[in-house]
Chain A
Amino acid sequence: MTPGGGSGPMKDCEYSQISTHSSSSPMESPHKKKKSVPKRKWEVFPGRNKFFCNGRIMMARQTGVFYLTLVLILVTSGLFFAFDCPYLSEKITPAIPAIGGILFFFVMGTLLRTSFSDPGVLPRATPDEAADLERQIDIANGSSSGGYRPPPRTKEVIINGQTVKLKYCFTCKIFRPPRASHCSLCDNCVERFDHHCPWVGNCVGKRNYRFFYMFILSLSFLTVFIFAFVITHVILRSQQTGFLNALKDSPARYPFTETNSVVCFFSVWSIVGLSGFHTYLISSNQTTNEDIKGSWSNKRGKENYNPYSYGNIFTNCCAALCGPLSPSLIDRRGFIQPDTPQLAGPSNGITMYGATQSQSNMCDQDQCIQSTKFVLQAAATPLLQSEPSITSEELPLPGKTSISGPCAALTLGQPTPPSSMPNLTSDSGLTDIIPLKEEHEGHQFLTPEEAPSPPGMLPSGSPITHSHTMHVLSLASQDSLHEDSVRGLVKLSSV
């Protein structure tokens, strides 16, 4: 029987799907699989972040304290508007609740912006980048002993006359840009890393620093505002009716007013203090990180002056608060393209990124399957990209080395991606697959273009084939990736 063109008998047969996991639930058909919802990049993001609203909102993993912040602000403001404002707007002016309202919306807006936006996360290096960097480092250092982690790699650059050391991040496999730092809570490198703030449930970095600053500034105004007018309220009432009477008159209000005052009193000191500290940081163009480490001295003429400062306070402030807002580099809502990483085009980057991230998320066995998928997609993509009318005669045999470069590289036993994930199981997985094809040369396997599923119609005389297939399949976890690789396997092994 010839695969590819499709002969009569094959078309008429019904093929049952191979159960690829023990629970024997049917796999989706390849047609449906090809059109199934492609994953967005946030779903395979390697950092420890939580995403909401289909990738639009990004937060740290621990968000409990953020909810506390929300509750505190809402309750305090709510009590103020409910109990103090009616009296004050009557007695003094209705502008008080108006201003209070504006402040409140500003606080909430900036808080949500700070918490939900990307602080400036740097995406992890693609495998090719990582390999290139490793190569350059090895050239620079000479060979290091295997298995032993070499001393931290640094690169020195001169910025505005100041020598700055760039550190190599082992997690993200990049040299961190100046002022970037790796947040251990979120497991990301963040540009212009300030600090990780549990109160807003996110890191504070380049992209959301101005929102953070506006938040604490407006919050200090709000707390001072509420505190002042709550006190005013009590004073006015006590003037009217005497202090004790004032408290007696409104027994329901008394605990709330008191609570409000207490909360505000403590908040005022901490929030105002924090605002003052960050105002200082902005005016000298430093991050909290740098200030804590004492990286730069403030005095002019000293050796370690701050190379990022613009020289005067006004410019520093304007640059931090009103400067251009750089875009998010992690493209949370983009789709992971099923193209091979090797093929040309702007989608290349997206592919590599998505594939890298999905790889780094998996355990060894899954990495095996994932790298298998790379190989197969590398071979299969010329078919996928063109119309389905391309027959499998065009499909190169895996034994031949004329498959596109990385594919052949894999069959030669190099792990994929190179060096950043030395994974012996990937080699063994591949060498398992290739002999499978060569051993059972005579057996017919259908291409997925013809059969809606991997062949259930394995010839009865090939229990070994079946078990071999099952062996490969048993390596896989119960996700859709191994289904792709099985289909790819089938494609490759068709003659």
Chain B
Amino acid sequence: QVHSLQELRRSASLATKVFVQRDYSDGTTCQFQTKFPPELESRIERQLFEETVKTLNGFYAEAEKIGGSSYLEGCLACATAYFIFLCMETHYEKVLKKISKYIQDQNEKIYAPRGLLLTDPLERGMRVIEISIYEDRCSSGSSSSG
């Protein structure tokens, strides 16, 4: 069945949630495992899912990149006794906005039509990418327990 994002809210019931955990092999930087969860086997193509996670990983790497511009931002902030943070948005926050937009975009185009929904990791403490799997209410006779 093909759903739109709004339809999901009304007509579908939540079947289960899948959690994509963090990948710490590179240290404490924010990266997620690209391992394909078996529960999604029947719902989405492997390649699409991996593409999403890889793009997200790329965004987070960009946010946490230590380089010239981040040093400049850090030094400037220090020089102003960090008061500059009251008016300026940090680079990390800018990238987070991009990520949020990307996730919404992916949800609308790819995941919602397949009855899935991504939750922004920021709302889960950057620990997991939560993927909610929905069953269509009319297709299942009784509700599915969580």
Residues of A participating in the B interface, judged by any CB pair closer than 8 Å? 105-106, 109-110, 113, 122-123, 125-126, 128-129, 132, 157-160, 164, 166, 174, 177-179, 191-192, 210-211, 214, 307-308, 315, 318-319, 321-327, 329-331, 342-346, 348-350, 353, 382, 385, 401-409, 412, 414, 418
Contact = CB atoms under 8 A, between A and B. Distances in A.
Rank and list the top 9 A-B pairs by shortest CB-CB distance, nearest first. A349-B123, A322-B74, A109-B81, A409-B145, A123-B125, A408-B143, A157-B24, A322-B71, A342-B14
Contacts of A349: 119-120, 123-124, 130
Interface in B1-18: 5, 8-10, 12-15, 17
A109 B78 CA distance: 10
B64 A326 contact: yes
B83 interface: yes
A327 B93 contact: yes
Given A157-B25, A344-B117, A402 B143 contact: yes
B52 interface: no
Interface in B93-146: 93, 96, 100, 104, 117, 119-120, 122-128, 130, 132, 134, 137, 142-146
B91 interface: yes
A129 B126 contact: no
17 contacts: A158-B25, A159-B27, A210-B74, A322-B73, A322-B75, A324-B74, A325-B85, A327-B122, A343-B14, A348-B119, A348-B123, A348-B132, A349-B130, A405-B15, A409-B143, A409-B145, A412-B145
Contact of B13 (A157, A192, A324, A405): A405
Contacts of B81: 105-106, 109-110, 113
Contacts of A174: 125, 127
Interface string B60-103: 00011110001101110110011101000011110010001000
A207 to B, nearest CB: 11
B42 interface: no
Contacts of A409: 143, 145-146
Interface residues on B, range: 35 or more
Contacts of B65: 324
B54 interface: no
B22 A177 contact: yes
A132 B19 contact: yes
B14 A404 contact: yes
A164 B74 contact: no
B64 A324 contact: yes
A159 B24 contact: yes
A402 B143 CA distance: 6
Nearest to A345: B9
Contact of B10 (A382, A405, A414): A382
Nearest to B17: A128
B17 A132 contact: yes
B26 interface: yes
A326 B121 CA distance: 13
B28 A177 contact: yes
B27 A344 contact: no
A122 B125 contact: yes
Contact of A128 (B26, B71, B127, B130): B130
Contact of A211 (B8, B82, B142): B82
A322 B70 contact: yes
B142 A401 contact: yes
Contact of B104 (A307, A346, A353, A403): A346
Nearest to A412: B145
A409 B14 CA distance: 12
Nearest to B63: A324
A350 B134 contact: no
A402 B13 CA distance: 10
A324 B91 CA distance: 7
Given A344-B132, A409-B145, A412-B145, A350 B70 contact: no
A406 B10 CA distance: 15
Nearest to B69: A324
A157 B33 CA distance: 13
Contacts of B146: 128, 342, 405-406, 409, 418
Nearest to B104: A346
Interface string B11-49: 011110101001011111000000000000000000000
Q: In this complex, which of A129, A158, A214 has the most chain B Cβ atoms within 10 angstroms of its Cβ?
A: A129
Contacts of B26: 159-160
Q: In this complex, which of A106, A307, A323, A408 has the most chain B Cβ atoms within 10 angstroms of its Cβ?
A: A323
Nearest to A122: B125
B27 A160 contact: yes
A210 B74 CA distance: 10
A344 B28 contact: no
A112 to B, nearest CB: 10
B24 A346 contact: no
A405 B144 contact: yes
Contacts of B134: 344
A214 B78 contact: yes
B14 A192 contact: no
B78 A159 contact: no
A173 to B, nearest CB: 11
Nearest to B93: A327
